[in-house]
Amino acid sequence: MAVVLEPYIYEGGIHKHGLILELLEDLGGYLIQKIPAATEVTLIMLIPEMDVDLIEDIAKKLLGKLTKAPLTGTEIAVVSPTLAYHHLPHSACDVAEYLRRGGANTNMIGLARGMGRRVALSADYERRLINEHDVAIFVFGTFSDCIINKKPKLFEGIEVPVVVTGGPDLKTEDVPHADLYIGNIGRVAHRLRKEAELCALDTMSKKVGELIDQRRGEISKDPLAVLPARVMKEISDQIPEIEYVMTPAPITLQLDGLRVKLPYGEYHERIENLEFDEGPLLSEIAKVMPSKMKNYILIKIQHKSEVGFVI
């Protein structure tokens, strides 16, 4: 029977945090990301459901905090109409920050010509880049007329779930082609720190979590041939060069795949020939393709119905 893995974040001192990592490995869990910051460390992990208590005990002994992180293992695109100071850094960066606290990896995407009403448009390259993510969050402004009537044309060609944030308090069904609308996060020119603003961000994080859970539920009906976290571990073991990649998340997990931040031309064959103990090569159970982001490698794992087995 497959082990159910639960996503958690550990925040605590760097002292003796290796004990947690050793226990996690013994239990068969996965370390998704480790973020050391001076004397503190943040560990994003997938822990076997039955053994969460064991990790909790050791976290308590180390005076750290273990919290559930429902967005772990997802890569979310935070899309801003442009990169000008009208749209960034406030609100869009705060949205991304709150999603990261939930365990997600976020990428900020500023469209080249997404501003305005009649003139707003997105390019094919931008749409393809957004489609590589699990969810796309469009950070819009203050006016309901723009959000309802003009901006939805930016969602054309987006195949992943679309979440929209904006100032007015609208219903999701008011915004055409959006899967979720979250209000009270409009255009602001200051850091979001007031009570109402933080509540709106909490609501957003919670609702995006629910959307992700729903997506996970859909995937579980026809499960993936291998867990993305397992592929991540195999890449770390079989391609040691990944250790020298300096980006914050050299291997970024997605709901149905991974982004490996190594050059495609040089490494795609080694990735395709990744071996699993059970026998198959990665290329037999997943599609390895060039990513639209830089020259990275994108892996999309196939479903059981396509390959006929699950490892």
Partner 1 sequence: MEPLETFVVESKIKSEAEQYKKIVSDAISDLVLSRAIGRIKVVIRPEDTLFQMAMVLRGSQPPVKTVDFAHVRIGTYGKSGVQIDIINEHYLPQLLDKLWAKYGPGNVSQPERKTVIVICENPHDEIVAIEQMVVDDPQRTLNSRLVDMAIRITPEGFRVRHHLLEGNHFIFLATEDIMKQEWIEETHRMLEELCGGKISGSSA
Handedness of CA 171, 175, 180, 181 (dihedral sign): negative
Q: Which one of residues 167, 228, 250, 257 is an interface residue with partner 1 (CB under 8 A)?
A: 167
240-279 footprint of partner 1 as x/- string (CB under 8 A): ----------------------------------------
Near partner 1 by CB under 8 A, which window of 33-41, 77-85, 102-110, 297-305? 77-85
Between CA 300 and CA 67 the distance in angstroms is: 29
CB 84 to partner 1: min, Å: 5
CB 35 to partner 1: min, Å: 31
Of residues 164, 152, 156, 252, the one with CA closest to residue 208:
164
Considering only residues 107 to 146 of the shown chain, the ones binding partner 1 according to CB under 8 A are 115-120, 141-146
Considering only residues 176 to 205 of the shown chain, the ones binding partner 1 according to CB under 8 A are 186-190
Question: What is 165-212 written as a DSSP string?
Answer: E-SS---GGGSTT-SEEE-S----SS---SHHHHHHHHHHHHHHHHHH
- Per rule CB under 8 A, count of chain residues that contact partner 1: 26
Question: Tokens 């990896």 correspond to what residue?
Answer: 105
When asked if residue 221 is in the footprint of partner 1 (CB under 8 A), the reply is no
Two tokens, residue 39: 């004397």
Between CA 109 and CA 126 the distance in angstroms is: 8
CB 119 to partner 1: min, Å: 6
Q: Give the footprint of partner 1 on this chain (CB under 8 A).
A: 81-82, 84-87, 115-120, 141-146, 167-169, 186-190
